[in-house]
Chain A
Amino acid sequence: MRARPYLLLVPALAALAIFAAAFALFVTVSFSTATPGTVLTHGPATLANYRSVLASPLARDTAITTLRLAGLMTLLTALLGYPLAYVLARSPSRLLRRTVLFGLVVTFLSGGVTRAYAWLIILGNKGLINQTLVALGLSPVKLAYNETGVTIGVVHFLLPFFVLTLLAALKNIPLSLEEAARNLGASRWQVFIRVVLPLSIPGLVSAASLSFAGALSAFLFPELLGGGRVHMASNVIYETILTDFNLPRVAAMAALFLVLALAALALLGLLQRRSAHLWAGAGAKT
């Protein structure tokens, strides 16, 4: 009888099994060899694809660019997202809270392609910003089809995920702690710096980890806003499969990028656990 509730896990386990099988197949392919100019692959098992990817300057540069941009995007998302989450958690103004939430939900619900094209209208050579600059007698700036455009697009995409994750952590901080600090003479700024911020760091790291994972796997915005110049992992994998059609090599490339992403996320996970111990006490959970 007790086993029955576990039946509810069956669909999830089945889905996981399918994902695992697909991944296993994908890794298996990475050890085969492509027949040049065709869609066929053959054995025997080899590490040549991994050696080829590791020796590729493009793959190396892509890994560096992806990690660098994902880090920058996460940092910018945190800088923009923290105040928004704080407003949502603590602002006494219902109107302000609702306005911020509405803005985030609209962002959340609008499709990625729509947002990318909207950013092109704003950031393009003849976009709103450049038209304004020209009208003011200034020179236009290149905001789209480069890393700037991609960063803006991805940060906008990540913001709701970050804010809503951090919001839960901020709401878990007892208001009484802030009130006690205020009663003991701390200014609002001191309360924030010495009470709220330290206690929110585990939540901040969780939200940042989620954002970092989203930035690492960004595809649409680099594709549409990168102008073919911004090489992030997903886009390079996609382009390589469309031009080289060497499935084993692409599989090896994707596997290596995945390992790199998992290593980066493991590092963030470690940071999250450390921060929980340091700032929120040994028993803290995020």
Chain B
Amino acid sequence: MRRIFGWSRLAAVFATLVMVAASVAPASAQEKKITLLIWSSTWNGLIKPLAEQFTKDTGIAVDIEVEASSMEGLVKVQAMRGKPTADVWFTAQGVAERAASDPGLLAPMPVDKLSNWKDVILGGTSSTFAAAYYYPFGIVYRPDLVPGGKISSWEELWGPAFENKLALPAPSFFSGRMILVAAQMAGGGIDNVDPGIAKLKAIKKNVAFWFTSDPQARKALAQGEVSVMVTSSSTVKTLADQGVTVKMVSPKPAPIIFEGVTILKGGKEEMAAQFVNYVISQQWQKTITEVWNMGPVNKNVAPAGKFADVLPKDGDSVTFNETTINERLGGWTEKFNQAIGQ
């Protein structure tokens, strides 16, 4: 045993490790590869085949790291500040805005080098963010499980027919949009969410669970555990692919949410920018709206028919100030948890 742990052996092992590390490091630095920090469902359902095409075209390989939510992604991005293990981060617009407040995290979009930048719709870009798609936040339901097979308004969800039948997003999901919708319904708004929290408290009996995991809620809807899930339009497509028939309605007030990409500061900004340019390209946007059932952000691409069906009517959509949400969401969540806790 003594010989095994002799100093000379330890020194030899250490020297070997150093040599191996030294021989690997330059190769890594030269590698034509970018890593995406992305939601697993978005990667598997949408981006994976597109990324393969990107690799064919550019020779840049694409790897991924998974985030459970935009906010969890922000925690990861902050933790790897300065030396990120990812290069392109998929996130919600509001979270990107919060991340942009730290000058060490996001690289500015090299607008001059992005040929498709000029085609992005109004509101879909900022100096550090490019939207990949937009969607309405609305009601996805099983027509076979709801009375009359149809839902037309938010208010219906408060009715006795939905007792223990709703899966609603917790405040950490969709950055508190459920609170904001309820607040607008109850005569409040972003400056006064108390009526909304009181309104959500009144729906307690109808809520089977407040979800923090999209797949968990989708599974519950697919299995008939719940008949309604409040979420984004991509759920319709995901469930349809699993053979589950669902419908979506985006009644007033229907928040419109942008999600997209940012470039992380870490030395691979140029390759990451090429990827961003592909994301906002006509070709990818066409796939995004047709395959993923989301709104295209490229002006030259029309929303797919199925997506157009779930868009809110004129005048029903609403947008919220992301900066205000970022500042107040923590306080709203605390009040909400106090109100709905068991």
Task: Write the residues of chain A forming the contact surface with B, with a CB cutoff of 8 angstroms.
Answer: 1, 4, 7-8, 35-40, 56-58, 61, 65, 117, 120, 124-126, 142, 144-147, 223-224, 227-231, 236, 239-246
- The reply on B156 being an interface residue by CB < 8 A is no
Given A124-B220, A125-B208, are A243 and B2 neighbors across the interface (CB < 8 Å)? no
> In the complex the two chains form, is A4's CB within 8 Å of B101's CB?
no
Choose one: B78, B101, B331, B333; the contact of A239 (CB below 8 Å): B333
Mark the stretch among B21-29, B38-46, B211-219, B245-253 that contacts chain A.
B211-219
Which residues of chain A have C-beta atoms less than 8 A from B5's C-beta?
A: 4, 7-8
> In the complex the two chains form, is B225's CB within 8 Å of A126's CB?
yes
Which residues of chain A have C-beta atoms less than 8 A from B333's C-beta?
A: 239-240, 243-244
- The reply on B223 being an interface residue by CB < 8 A is yes
* 8 Å CB interface, B192-223 against A: 207-213, 216, 219-220, 223
**Interchain residue pairs with CB less than 8 A apart (24):** A1-B2, A4-B5, A37-B326, A38-B98, A39-B98, A120-B220, A125-B208, A125-B226, A145-B209, A146-B342, A228-B170, A228-B211, A228-B212, A229-B209, A230-B342, A231-B337, A239-B170, A239-B171, A239-B337, A240-B334, A241-B75, A242-B69, A244-B331, A245-B326
Given A146-B342, A223-B212, A228-B212, are A124 and B171 neighbors across the interface (CB < 8 Å)? no
> In the complex the two chains form, is B164's CB within 8 Å of A37's CB?
no
Which residues of chain B have C-beta atoms less than 8 A from A39's C-beta?
A: 74, 78, 98-99, 101-102, 105
Which residues of chain B have C-beta atoms less than 8 A from A228's C-beta?
A: 170, 209-212, 340
Chain B 1-13 interface mask (CB, 8 Å, partner A; 1/0): 0100100000000
* Nearest B-chain residue to A236, judged by Cβ: B337
Report whether over half of chain A's contact residues are helix, strand or loop; otherwise say mixed. loop
- The reply on B155 being an interface residue by CB < 8 A is no
- The CA of A230 and the CA of B210, in the complex, are separated in Å by 11
Which residues of chain B have C-beta atoms less than 8 A from A7's C-beta?
A: 5
Which residues of chain A have C-beta atoms less than 8 A from B74's C-beta?
A: 39, 245
Which residues of chain A have C-beta atoms less than 8 A from B78's C-beta?
A: 39
* Nearest A-chain residue to B68, judged by Cβ: A242
Task: Write the residues of chain B forming the contact surface with A, with a CB cutoff of 8 angstroms.
Answer: 2, 5, 69, 71-72, 74-75, 78, 98-99, 101-102, 105, 164, 170-172, 176, 207-213, 216, 219-220, 223-226, 323, 326-327, 329-334, 337-338, 340-342
Given A223-B212, A227-B209, A246-B330, are A40 and B225 neighbors across the interface (CB < 8 Å)? no
Which interface residue of A4, A36, A240, A243 has the most chain B CB atoms within 10 A?
A243
Closest 7 CB pairs of A and B: A244-B330, A228-B210, A227-B209, A38-B101, A242-B71, A37-B327, A145-B209
- The CA of A274 and the CA of B171, in the complex, are separated in Å by 46
Which residues of chain A have C-beta atoms less than 8 A from B342's C-beta?
A: 146-147, 229-231
Which residues of chain B have C-beta atoms less than 8 A from A8's C-beta?
A: 5
Given A39-B98, A227-B208, A229-B341, are A243 and B105 neighbors across the interface (CB < 8 Å)? no
* Nearest A-chain residue to B211, judged by Cβ: A228
Q: Smallest CB–CB gap between A268 and chain B, Å?
A: 26
- The CA of A4 and the CA of B5, in the complex, are separated in Å by 8
> In the complex the two chains form, is B338's CB within 8 Å of A61's CB?
yes
Given A145-B209, A224-B216, A245-B330, are A38 and B225 neighbors across the interface (CB < 8 Å)? no
Which residues of chain A have C-beta atoms less than 8 A from B223's C-beta?
A: 124, 126
Which residues of chain A have C-beta atoms less than 8 A from B340's C-beta?
A: 228-229
* Nearest A-chain residue to B103, judged by Cβ: A40
- The CA of A239 and the CA of B333, in the complex, are separated in Å by 8
Which residues of chain B have C-beta atoms less than 8 A from A36's C-beta?
A: 327
Choose one: A38, A120, A125, A245; the contact of B164 (CB below 8 Å): A125
> In the complex the two chains form, is B101's CB within 8 Å of A37's CB?
yes
Which residues of chain A have C-beta atoms less than 8 A from B331's C-beta?
A: 244
| Interface contacts beyond A146-B342, A228-B210, A240-B334: sample of 8 additional A-B pairs, CB < 8 Å, sorted by A | A1-B2, A224-B216, A227-B210, A228-B209, A229-B341, A241-B75, A243-B172, A243-B176
* Nearest B-chain residue to A1, judged by Cβ: B2
> In the complex the two chains form, is A37's CB within 8 Å of B98's CB?
yes
Q: Smallest CB–CB gap between B198 and chain A, Å?
A: 16
- The CA of A270 and the CA of B337, in the complex, are separated in Å by 35
* Nearest A-chain residue to B95, judged by Cβ: A245
> In the complex the two chains form, is A240's CB within 8 Å of B330's CB?
yes
